[in-house]
Amino acid sequence: MWMMVLFDLPVKTKIQRRNATRFRQFLLDQGFEMAQFSVYLRWCSGKEQVDATTKRIAGQVPAKGSVQIVTITDRQYQNVTCFDNRTKRKPRENPAQLALF
């Protein structure tokens, strides 16, 4: 399952820019990848991991601005159409699963 964090944070003052940068850095530290400037993606192994990550994000949301979290199943994500510079590309692949014996 994929987690998508979309946000619109104010950046008019130095403090607001610092808060927005800290929030973006937090998402990167949590394993998210930037899809677009205010859209970050992360693959999660299940609902429990999504819930735990959502709680961590909730603790880091800046006081002002809008943050939305969307979850998408692998099957739904396969239908994403991506373009880079008018060139169609494949969506991100699910990370390989680690098998322990």
Looking at CATH, the fold of the domain delimited by 2-89 is given as: Alpha-Beta Plaits (3.30.70)
Question: What tokens does 97 get?
Answer: 């699963």
Q: What's the pTM?
A: 0.80
| Beta-carbon count within 10 A of 44 CB | 17
Rounded to the nearest 10 degrees, how much is the dihedral formed by the CA atoms of 80, 33, 41, 76?
30
Give me the pLDDT at residue 101, please: 47
Which helix (DSSP H) or strand (DSSP E) does residue 42 occupy? strand 39-43
Q: Model confidence over 47-81: pLDDT tens digits? A: 999 999 999 999 999 999 999 999 999 888 888 88
CA distances to 42, 56, 59 from 7, rounded to whole Å, are 15, 15, 15
